[in-house]
């Protein structure tokens, strides 16, 4: 990331297509250390990161990168968390119901909805929702996300109606993925001998599904939930930009356009740490779901 952003054309000092004079650019490069060799800039930045210093924004003088992330983080996390909380029961529920009623109308309907959601880009889903509900029916806010006076983001309420369309846009693809994965895993579990034995013993259908089928079917699903949650946080660029949500994804996109090197690196490091943390949590949860796995292994 460090090398690629320096190889990209343009500089942090370009203003709306207008370039500053060479003398001004040189003074700015000296002030922010961009006149040094690339390898030296990298070592200086790594040393700062080790001391939890991500530097100041190049396009917003006086604004520390950590402060910008802290302001944007609640929006991105709330959007991702609400989407995750909704998609898990919906995706797993659709997958289990479709598997239990294989080759029925319910199964075909669930598969059709999952296939349509998985094959439609999220920006198409978002634009479609804005056209139908915001512009056509005037029911939901679309294209803008409210800011209070003063320009600072307002407290993010997870129950506000402005979240409905962004949550649907962001959650359509992962919900379809979880539903299809759950269906496939449930079908495999239903064919196992221990499930057939449970049916043969005359156990109630609800007991067989919950205790034997669902628990074993969720093993591969839980493995996918970690990357799914990370995707909801790190993959919200388009959704936040489309609905003007002042989250980290939108900050990251705007920093790329502005060549704000320190903000680009700061958000990239945050996303990398988040993915690593989520994968660690999933590995720990795997022990409690699958008794065959032990932490010592």
Quickly list DSSP for 203-235. Answer: --HHHIIIIIIIHHHHHHHHHHHHHHHHHHHHT
Q: 275 and 176, same structural domain?
A: yes
Scored b (16 or more CB within 10 A) or e, 105-122 reads: eebeebbebbeebeeeeb
Residue 242 vs residue 17, higher pLDDT: 242
Q: 120 and 23, same structural domain?
A: no
Q: 76 and 44, same structural domain?
A: no
Domain extent, residue 210, equals 67-289
The reported pLDDT for the residue numbered 136 is 59
Q: In whole angstroms, give the CA distance from residue 196 to residue 213.
A: 10
Q: 31 and 111, same structural domain?
A: no
Average pLDDT over residues 224-248: 84
Q: 102 and 22, same structural domain?
A: no
Q: 148 and 75, same structural domain?
A: yes
Split into its structural domains, the chain has a count of: 2
Is 259 inside a domain boundary?
Answer: yes
pLDDT at residue 178 greater than cutoff 90: yes
Q: 144 and 34, same structural domain?
A: no
Q: 221 and 174, same structural domain?
A: yes
Q: 96 and 6, same structural domain?
A: no
Per the structure block, which two tokens stand in for 39?
Answer: 């390898």
Is 280 inside a domain boundary?
Answer: yes
Residue 174 vs residue 59, higher pLDDT: 174
The reported pLDDT for the residue numbered 174 is 92
Q: Is 103 exposed, middle or buried (0-12, 13-18, 19+ CB in 10 A)?
A: exposed
Is 297 inside a domain boundary?
Answer: no
Q: 134 and 273, same structural domain?
A: yes
Q: 137 and 9, same structural domain?
A: no
Mean pLDDT lowest among 113-127, 174-188, 206-220, 221-235: 206-220
Is 232 inside a domain boundary?
Answer: yes
Is 86 inside a domain boundary?
Answer: yes
Categorize the per-residue pLDDT at 148 as very low, low, confident or very high, splitting at 50, 70 and 90.
Answer: very low
Q: pLDDT tens across 238-293, in order?
A: 888 888 888 888 888 888 888 888 888 888 898 888 888 888 887 777 777 666 65
Mean pLDDT lowest among 20-24, 50-54, 224-228: 20-24
pLDDT at residue 3 greater than cutoff 80: yes
Residue 233 sits in a domain whose CATH number is: 1.10.3720.10
């Amino acid at each position: 990331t460090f090398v690629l952003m320096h190889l990209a054309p343009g500089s942090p000092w370009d203003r709306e297509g207008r370039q500053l004079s060479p003398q001004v650019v040189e003074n700015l490069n000296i002030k922010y250390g961009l006149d040094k060799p690339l390898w030296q800039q990298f070592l200086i930045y790594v040393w700062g990161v080790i001391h939890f210093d991500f530097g100041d924004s190049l396009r917003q003088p006086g604004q520390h990168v950590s402060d910008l992330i802290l302001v944007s983080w609640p929006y991105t996390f709330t959007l991702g968390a609400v989407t995750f909380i909704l998609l898990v029961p919906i995706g797993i529920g659709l997958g289990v119901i479709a598997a239990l009623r294989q080759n029925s109308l319910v199964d075909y309907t669930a598969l059709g909805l999952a296939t349509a959601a998985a094959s439609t880009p999220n920006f198409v889903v978002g634009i479609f929702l804005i056209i139908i509900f915001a512009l056509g029916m005037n029911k939901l806010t679309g294209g803008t996300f409210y800011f209070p006076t003063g320009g600072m983001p307002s407290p993010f309420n997870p129950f506000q109606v402005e979240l409905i369309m962004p949550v649907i846009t962001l959650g359509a693809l992962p919900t379809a993925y979880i539903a299809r994965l759950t269906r496939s895993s449930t079908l495999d579990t239903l064919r196992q001998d221990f499930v057939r034995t449970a049916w043969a013993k005359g156990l109630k259908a609800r007991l067989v599904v919950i205790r034997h089928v669902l628990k074993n079917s969720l093993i591969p699903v839980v493995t996918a939930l970690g990357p799914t949650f990370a995707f909801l946080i790190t993959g919200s660029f388009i959704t936040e930009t489309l609905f003007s949500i002042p989250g980290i994804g939108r900050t990251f996109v705007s920093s790329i356009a502005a060549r704000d090197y320190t903000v680009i690196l700061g958000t990239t490091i945050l996303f990398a740490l988040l993915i690593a943390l989520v994968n660690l949590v999933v590995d720990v949860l795997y022990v409690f779901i699958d008794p065959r796995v032990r932490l010592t292994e």
